[in-house]
Structure 1
Amino acid sequence: MDYLPDDNSRYKDVDYWDERYKTEQCYDWLGSFSKIKHLLEQHIKKDESILMLGCGNSSLSGDMYSAGYHSITNIDYSSVCINTMSARYSNCPGMTWHQMDVCQLCFSDASFDVVLEKATLDAIMVEEKTPWEVYPQTASIIHRALTEISRCLRPGGRFVSVTFAQPFFRKRLYARTEYNWSIKHYSYGEGFQYFVYVMTKGEKLSPDDVALEKKLLEDTKSHPTITATTNEDKEDFLSNIDLSGD
C-alpha cells in the first residue's frame, strides 16, 4: 500500500490514519529510539511515569520499555492504532493504550513525570504554507495541546518534544509564561538535524525566552499570527510549505 496521501491535509484526518494502520506495521518519524536514546536518558528516569502523545505505530514505546522504562501510557486518536498496539504489547505490564485527543487529555492534574511526543505537533501543522505564520485555527489547537500537557505534568516534570522544528521557529510556540516551564533544546542526526526540546515544569523561562514571548505578544497585537516551522523527513508531510519567503 502507498501510504502517502494525495494532499497533506489528509494527515489531520483520523480516517486516513485508521485506514493506514490497518496494514502498516511500523513507521518511526524522525528516526528510531536509538537516535535519541542518549538524550532521553539524560532527562527521563527509568522509574518515572511517561505519557506518550500520538504514539502511532512507532516502535518508540516498545523500545523504551525494553530499555527499562516500564510505566508508559500511550494515546492516539486512531482506535485502529490503539487496538493494534495494545494487542502487540499485551505482554508488557505497565504499558497502557488509550484512544484520546491530545487537546483533551482525560487525566488528572499532575499525573505524569514526563510527557513525550515525536512529530505529533508537527503533524498538526501540516497545512501551514510558510514557516513564519500559523493559521489561527492551528495556533489554537497547539495552544490547547500545550495547556493540557502542562496541566498533566507534575512539578519538576518534563515535556519532551522531538521535532523537525529549528529553535528559531519552535521556541515561539513553547515560550509562554502561562505554561509554567523552562525550555532547553538539543539536536541529533547526521547531516540533517532534528531537535529535542525539554520543558521543565515549575522552572522560569530564561530572560531571552521572556523577551521572545514579549516580542511575540507585541507582534500578535498588530499581526494576529503565531510562528511555526518545517523541515524534511523521509515521509515529508510538510513538503508543501513554501520556504522562499516570497
Structure 2
Amino acid sequence: MSAGQMDHLPDVNSLYKDVDYWDERYTTEQSYDWLGTFSKFDHLLGDYIKKEDSILILGCGNSTMSRDMYNAGYHAITNIDYSSVCISTMRARHSDCPGMTWHQMDVCQLSFPNSSFDVVIEKATLDALMVDEKTPWKISSQTASFIHQALTEISRCLKTGGRFISVTFAQPFFRKRLYARTEYSWSIKHQSYGEGFEYFVYAMTKGEKLSPEDVALERKLKEDAESPTPVSVTQTEAN
C-alpha cells in the first residue's frame, strides 16, 4: 500500500460505513482497487458473463474495474455507489463510454425493476459492511439485517439464469453462511485467485437450487439460531 493510500485510511473501521468518510475520500483520491484489479480475476468470469450482458456494479467506488470491463468489451454497465461525490466524479471521468451509467444509490434499496440485469457484481462492497464485526463466526443482528436486505435486492434485480458475482477475501466457511438461503433462489459456486493473499470469487446463479451441502448448511444455521442459549451452571448450583 502506497503512502497516498495510507492517507485515506480511516481512524476506525466503522467509518467504512459512513458516507461522509467516502465523500471526503473521493474528493481527493483518484483511484483505489480493493482486492486487486479486474485483470487479477477476469479469467474466472468467462463462464458467468457474456459481453452483451446487462451488468450492475455495486459500490463501484473509484475502482478501475468499470473502465477495465468496458475496455474488454462489456458495454452495458450500470454503476452505483452511495457517495454522490464518487458518482459525480466517475460519471465525468467516463463520459467517453457510451452505454455506461452512474447512479447514487444504496445497495439495500435498489431503484431498479425486478429482473433488470443479467449480472450483478460486487467487489469488497459487502466486506465494507462488516468491517467492525468482532468475529466472522457470528455477525451482529444489525449487520446481518443489512446483508440480508442487500442480497434480497440483488436477487430481485437478477433475471432468471442471471449471475451474482461476489469478489471478497472471505473464505467459503464464513461467506456461504450468508449466501446459502433458499429464499434467494440461487445456486452457489466459488473459485479463488491471488498469490500470498487468497481472494475468492463466488458465482450465484438465479433460478438454480442450492446444492444438498448448502441446503444442509442453511438448515443447520437455522436450527442453531432457533435453539436457546445453554445456561451455564456453577458447581454450587449443581449441588
Same fold (TM over 0.5): yes
Q: Measure the CA separation in 2 of the matches of 1:41 and 1:59.
A: 19
Q: Measure the CA separation in 2 of the matches of 1:64 and 1:39.
A: 13
From 182, 188, 194, the counterpart of 1:189: 194
Larger radius of gyration: 2
Tell me the residue number matched to 2:234. Answer: none
Tell me the residue number matched to 2:76. Answer: 71
Show CA shifts across 1:115-157 (max 9, x none): 0000000000011001101000000000000000000000000
From 91, 98, 107, the counterpart of 2:103: 98
Is 1:122 paired with 2:127?
yes
Is 1:36 paired with 2:36?
no
Count of residue correspondences = 224
Q: Measure the CA separation in 2 of the matches of 1:115 and 1:131.
A: 24
Distance change in 2, residues 1:28/1:223 (3 Å): farther
Work out the percentage of aligned pairs sharing the same amino acid.
77
Structure 1 residues 1-246: aligned runs within 5 Å: 2-222=7-227
Q: Measure the CA separation in 2 of the matches of 1:205 and 1:42.
A: 18
Deviation of the 1:223 alpha carbon: 6.2
The TM-score normalised by the length of structure 1 is: 0.90
Q: Measure the CA separation in 1 of the matches of 2:197 and 2:228.
A: 32
Q: Measure the CA separation in 2 of the matches of 1:223 and 1:151.
A: 33
What CA RMSD, in Å, does the superposition of the two structures yield over aligned residues? 1.0
Q: Measure the CA separation in 2 of the matches of 1:108 and 1:133.
A: 33
Q: Measure the CA separation in 1 of the matches of 2:31 and 2:45.
A: 21
Q: Measure the CA separation in 2 of the matches of 1:191 and 1:31.
A: 13
| Structure 2 unpaired stretches of 5+ | 230-239
Higher RCO (C-alpha 8 Å, min separation 6): 1
Give the residue type in structure 2 aligned to 1:95. M
Q: Measure the CA separation in 2 of the matches of 1:159 and 1:216.
A: 22
4+ long deviations beyond 4 Å: none
Give the residue type in structure 1 aligned to 2:208. E
Q: Measure the CA separation in 1 of the matches of 2:226 and 2:34.
A: 35
Q: Measure the CA separation in 1 of the matches of 2:135 and 2:152.
A: 24
Give the residue type in structure 2 aligned to 1:69. Y
Residue 160 of structure 1 aligns to a residue whose secondary structure is strand
The TM-score normalised by the length of structure 2 is: 0.92
Tell me the residue number matched to 1:227. Answer: none
